[in-house]
Amino acid sequence: MTAGLLNVATEKRRTLRESQRVSFDVRLNGHRSRHWSTPSGGATLRLKEENRYRTFVDLERIACRLPAAIWHSPGGPREVTIWCSNDYLGMSQNAAVVQAMVDTAIRLGTGSGGTRNIAGTNHPLVELERELADLHAKPAALVFTSGYVANQSSISTIAKLIPNCLILSDELNHNSMIEGVNQSNCVKQVFRHNDLGHLEQLLTSAGQRRPKIVLFESLYSMDGDFAPIGAICDLAKRHNAMTYCDEVHAVGMYGATGAGIAERDGVSGLVDVIEGTLAKAYGGLGGYIAGSARLVDAVRSYASGFIFTTALPPPVCAAALAAIRHLKSSNHERLRHQENAARLKRLICGAALPLRPTDSHILPIMVRDSEQCQKASALLLEDHAIYIQPINYPTVPRGAERLRISRRFTRTCKSIVS
Ligand SMILES: Cc1ncc(COP(=O)(O)O)c(C=O)c1O
């Protein structure tokens, strides 16, 4: 009896100890192994010592007075101006976009009800995919829950489905693309940023017969420079390679209908897969790929990041659809934003600040020191009510820390929803 009670008490203590720990499930090749441990406090301490521990500023954007926001500061609420939003054109607060979201929520509810397979293929999502395919002049498009997931799932799936695929990836590609490459388990070679000579060298040594895919971005989000899309695609075609271009920071922003740099440069037809987001210029949430019907169908059928997660809610799809349609026919926001960026560029250069030269709307001020970068950001917020997040390693290399400005024009409008 006593022994039994002791056993129960020991078991309880053991369960309590284990529940106080953090469990990490590691899935490797479908096998599951369980490790019990807690992350070492030293890991976060190291980030703090290196001045790259991330802190979040508690903001509340003011719908009709973009880019104004309330900062819930330690000393109480204060009005500030956001200088680093990727809601570049303020579409998250566009009256037609908000109305589409509200109307759809009232008609269809707020959630999608499941994965695409089970209950999530709602009509606004189908319409959204048609609109995206049309935007990029491709036969088909597929929507994911984010641009990150779109890259990670599509790249890994496409590469895995091509036997002996060699991946050639620009050295500045976004983490979502790198993760897609890693998950594919394919051989990868990294080419120097936008270096056509280096890419050609790698393509040549791979040989014509080896299946190859070239991964790159059209507009690099941290440096603000463009890729020579046409030249990369020409080169890839000559070497029998497929092309995959991330247009996340360019869709909605460039091209006559907002289809991105490929549209602006008249080379959309040369790119095999265009990947984009609904979360930046379109002001919502979600990501997508557009390409041939066969390729999109293969990704739809095999990508676990597409299959095993709940679909985007109908109101989110309806809002994205309204934003895409609006920016397809309206150039006004794009032009105003470009003018604004050019004006700001002149002011920054006039003030002799170390602006990295860029032709795009992204303006990186190079601080090149993580501590100074954090200090500059804090000073701007506290003394000047300007919010610009410091960009540190690993988002950029050490020594390339910066303040990345993407300031939109001031907008006032009547209340969106009465
Ligand atoms: C180049 C690039 N690709 C993909 C993504 C991921 O897009 P999303 O924010 O929609 O997940 C980002 C995010 O900032 C990005 O900069």
pLDDT on residue 64: 82
Structure tokens of 226? 């463009």
Averaged pLDDT for residues 32-58: 79
pLDDT tens track for 283-303: 999 999 999 999 999 999 999
Q: Specify whether the CB–CB gap between 257 and 135 falls below 8 A.
A: yes
Q: What is the pLDDT of residue 218?
A: 98
Ligand 1 pocket mutation, candidates 178, 181, 221, criterion most atoms within 8 A of CB: 221
What whole-number distance in Å separates Cα of residue 97 and Cα of residue 92?
7
Assess whether the C-beta atom of 387 lies below 6 angstroms from ligand 1. Answer: no
**Dihedral sign, CA of 292, 293, 296, 298?**
negative
Average pLDDT on 184-194 reads 98
The CA 283 to ligand 1 mean position distance, Å, reads 13
For atom 7 of ligand 1, which residue has the closest CA? 147
pLDDT of residue 15: 43
Ligand 1 centroid to Cα of residue 248, in Å, is 6
Q: Give the neighbor-by-neighbor strand order of the sheet with 390-391.
A: 363-366, 402-405, 390-391
333 lines ligand 1 (CB under 6 A): no
Q: What is the residue with the minimal CA distance to atom 1 of ligand 1?
A: 174
Mean pLDDT along residues 376-399: 95
Q: Are 287 and 293 in contact (CB under 8 A)?
A: no
The CA distance from 416 to 376, in Å, is 35
Q: Is the distance from the beta carbon of residue 148 to the nearest atom of ligand 1 less than 6 Å?
A: yes
Q: Identify the H or E element spanning 290.
A: strand 287-291
- Give the model's confidence band at 7: pLDDT under 50 very low, under 70 low, under 90 confident, else very high: low
Site of tokens 């002149």 = 346
Give me the pLDDT at residue 41, please.
80
Q: Is residue 34 predicted with pLDDT exceeding 80?
A: no
What atom in ligand 1 is closest to the CA of residue 176?
4
42 Cβ contact list (under 8 Å, min separation 6): none
What does the pLDDT average to over 95-116? Answer: 97
Share of the chain above pLDDT 90, in %: 84
Q: Is 170 in the pocket of ligand 1 (CB under 6 A)?
A: no
280: annotated active-site residue = yes
pLDDT in tens, 235-291: 999 999 999 999 999 999 999 999 999 999 999 999 999 999 999 999 999 999 999
Q: What is the percent of the chain with per-residue pLDDT over 70, rounded to a whole number?
A: 89
The arithmetic mean of pLDDT across residues 15-33, rounded, is 41
User: Does position 410 have pLDDT exceeding 90, yes or no?
Assistant: no
**CB-ligand 1 contact for 277 (6 Å cutoff):** yes
Distance CA 203, CA 210 (A): 9
pLDDT over threshold 50, residue 358: yes
Mean pLDDT score of the chain, rounded to an integer? 90
Q: What is the pLDDT of residues 332-349, one digit of tens each?
A: 999 999 999 999 999 999
Q: Using a 6 Å cutoff on CB, does residue 246 contact ligand 1? A: yes
Q: Which structure tokens are listed for 324? A: 């895409």
